[in-house]
Amino acid sequence: MVAKHKPARRERTRGKIPKLIIVTGGVLSGLGKGVTTASIGNILKARGFRVNTQKFDQYLNVDAGTLNPGEHGEVFVTDDGAETDLDLGHYERFLDQSLTKDCSVMTGQIYLEVTQAEREGKYLGKTVQMIPHVTDAVKRRMWAAARRSHAEIHLVEVGGTVGDYEGAHFLEAVRQLAADDGKENVLYVHVAFLPYLAASDEIKTKPAQNSVRDLRAIGIQPDVIIARADHPISKSQLEKLSLYANVDVASVIPVPTVGSMYEVPLHMEAHGLDRIIAQKLGLGFRPRNDRIWHRLVATIKRRKPPVRIAMVGKYLNMKDTYMSLIEALKAAAWAHGRSLDLWWVDAEQIESGKFPVEELQHAAGIAVPGGFGVRGTEGKIRAIRFAREKKIPYLGLCFGMQLMVIETARHLARLPHATSEEFAPAEKKRDPVIHLMGEQKKTLLKGGTMRLGAWPCALKEKSLARKLYGERRISERHRHRYEFNNAYRAKLERAGLAVSGTTPDGQLVEIVERPDHPFFLGVQFHPEFQSRPTRPHPLFLGFLKAAISSRKTASRGR
């Protein structure tokens, strides 16, 4: 393991190696470090810099694929098929650029690499240690991502908070960067939370001070502090934090909780953070071009009539599970001059009858998102049937498409026992209209064994999908194990379910729709991953348009 990770000074002077921005967090988790990192990337990109972002995650998992979405939130998928933390979704949306598997590093990957190298004898008899072997592996991954991206500025978000036992190797690795590479090439940004104390009606800076102290104790002096708070922060508090943290006051940037996360970049710009960073990293002045983002935020803030979309799902206590989907729906609603009124419907309550399915007539559109396992599926199928029969616009995403196929099979193709092999192993009396493909059946491993990442899809002439995309050939991201069973294709088509998108070889069914319905469409992939706030996805635009023209947008009134 002697691969070099340090850039040669010569490369640096030729501008080939990016400057680094390291984002750490303090006080508590969930304070929006991902959005902060994404926003810094956004304002630098608006200044014309080529930017790349990378996330270091502390978990011992090798990737996010095996994490329970109900606990950890959405598993975001890149074009090259990495199953990553949802922060990568923020990065892609704020930067309007697609990232790669390099951009997500989990501790499990690092340990796996180091342990495998040890087994292969690559350490030549040396004791294998946290420093330098693990930290070097971290730095190698960082430089590999930075070089491959051809960015001028490479941002790294270190997951967790300073002082976490599990984050020590990442913090030590990023600390070394300044020594390796010259302080002028590395900028440390620390995001800290300032709690509000109701008893004395004030914001407290002490926990943030302490987190900076912890950071300095491990050898990192922050250059910029992002002071997060739910309440306005006074000038004197910023000064206090500046003094204790040893950071000039102009570089202590207050970011109070704002209405929409998309406002954060503009807030940072208003405090001159783009200029401060460019100066501190010795990057030349470039004019700012952020008109698109200003227009987006103006649209978001404008009062707009709502459009109500029912989301029939399972992990409802953890809305982060559907992060990209919600953002895709919002972006499409905004583009149509509406605000999204998202109505969460628990599929299990439909199943148990606690929530009468007829209630869904109050929705302008119904969506069934991706999901796993049998729990709640009968409720979802009932919702899909209702959408079909009442001609309510319906969009099925991955699992939502598979259940749409099952619904048609059961109710229109005389296959009352139609199911997915995910719920029931293939038996004679059942019809697995959704199944595992032959070669997949042998796989027992759970991690990284799904159909993942971007796949090309050919669209059928004159179909709704073709009309919406306006293209013959598209590429969309996948994350699923089961597939449409071609043995039932003819039967399902006779039942009115048109296959409007397949892999170019025609083998895998990717999109189904009903021509006799205003909008009844299901996709085997996850279009939400490619939707951007400034460039909403055509399928979501089409779905929202159909929902709006179904004119059931009156507010909930219950």
Residues taking part in catalysis: 398, 526, 528
Site for ligand GLN in 263-322 (CB under 6 A): none
Among the listed ranges 143-151, 211-219, 270-278, 398-406, the one in contact with ligand GLN (CB under 6 A) is 398-406
Q: Does 422 bind ligand GLN (CB under 6 A)?
A: yes
Q: Does 398 bind ligand GLN (CB under 6 A)?
A: yes
Q: How far apart are the first and last CA of the chain?
A: 64
Strand ranges, E, within 115-159: 153-158
Q: Does 155 bind ligand GLN (CB under 6 A)?
A: no
Strand ranges, E, within 159-214: 186-193, 196-197, 202-203
| Closer by beta carbon to ligand GLN, 440 or else 534 | 440
| Closer by beta carbon to ligand GLN, 390 or else 481 | 481
Query: What would the x/- binding string for ligand GLN be over residues 19 to 58, using CB under 6 A?
Result: ----------------------------------------
Cβ 387 to ligand GLN shortest distance, Å: 18
Cβ 344 to ligand GLN shortest distance, Å: 17
Cβ 66 to ligand GLN shortest distance, Å: 13
Please, what sign has the CA dihedral across residues 369, 375, 378, 383?
negative
The residue whose Cβ lies closest to ligand GLN is: 370
Cα–Cα dist 248/499, whole Å? 61
Cβ 332 to ligand GLN shortest distance, Å: 20
Q: 128, exposed or middle or buried, with CB in 10 Å at 0-12, 13-18, 19+?
A: middle
Q: Does 545 bind ligand GLN (CB under 6 A)?
A: no
Helix (H, G, I), strand (E, B) or coil at 242: helix
Among the listed ranges 328-336, 355-363, 396-404, 541-549, the one in contact with ligand GLN (CB under 6 A) is 396-404
Strands 483-484 and 306-313: unpaired
Strand ranges, E, within 115-195: 153-158, 186-193
Q: Which residues contact 28 (CB under 8 A, 6 or more apart)?
A: 161, 193
Cβ 436 to ligand GLN shortest distance, Å: 9
Task: Name the nearest CA neighbour of 312 among 372, 393, 402, 380.
Answer: 380
Q: Does 69 bind ligand GLN (CB under 6 A)?
A: no
Q: Which residues contact 95 (CB under 8 A, 6 or more apart)?
A: 38, 41, 42, 45, 51, 53
| Closer by beta carbon to ligand GLN, 479 or else 491 | 479
Cβ 73 to ligand GLN shortest distance, Å: 14
| Closer by beta carbon to ligand GLN, 62 or else 401 | 401
| Closer by beta carbon to ligand GLN, 205 or else 377 | 377
Site for ligand GLN in 363-382 (CB under 6 A): 370-372
Site for ligand GLN in 461-490 (CB under 6 A): 479-482
Strands 431-435 and 483-484: antiparallel
| Closer by beta carbon to ligand GLN, 244 or else 372 | 372
User: Under rule CB under 6 A, how many of the chain's residues touch ligand GLN?
Assistant: 11
| Closer by beta carbon to ligand GLN, 371 or else 533 | 371
Is 524 within 8 Å of 478 (Cβ atoms)? yes
Q: Which residues contact 90 (CB under 8 A, 6 or more apart)?
A: 34, 35, 37, 38, 261
Strands 104-106 and 51-57: parallel
Cβ 402 to ligand GLN shortest distance, Å: 6
Among the listed ranges 53-61, 102-110, 201-209, 395-403, the one in contact with ligand GLN (CB under 6 A) is 395-403
Strand ranges, E, within 101-151: 104-106
| Closer by beta carbon to ligand GLN, 37 or else 324 | 324
Cβ 371 to ligand GLN shortest distance, Å: 5
User: Which helix (H) or strand (E) element contains residue 316?
Assistant: none
Which token pair is 136?
Answer: 């070097």
Cα–Cα dist 351/545, whole Å? 29
For residues 35-63, one letter each, b for 16 or more C-beta atoms within 10 angstroms of the residue's C-beta and e for the rest, the string is bbbbbbbbbbbbbebebbbbbbbbbebbb
Cβ 6 to ligand GLN shortest distance, Å: 40
Contact with ligand GLN (CB under 6 A): which of 399, 455, 488, 525?
A: 399
Is 24 within 8 Å of 153 (Cβ atoms)? no
Cβ 282 to ligand GLN shortest distance, Å: 45
Cα–Cα distance list, 8 to 16, 134, 182, 188 (Å): 10, 22, 11, 21
| Closer by beta carbon to ligand GLN, 44 or else 433 | 433
Residue with tokens 């796993």: 372
Q: 3-state SS of 334-380?
A: HHCCCEEEEEEEEHHHHHHCCCCHHHHHHCCEEEECCCCCCCCHHHH
Cβ-based neighbour number of residue 11 at 10 Å: 12
Cβ 67 to ligand GLN shortest distance, Å: 14
| Closer by beta carbon to ligand GLN, 54 or else 321 | 321
| Closer by beta carbon to ligand GLN, 107 or else 402 | 402
Binding site for ligand GLN (CB under 6 A): 370-372, 398-399, 402, 422, 479-482
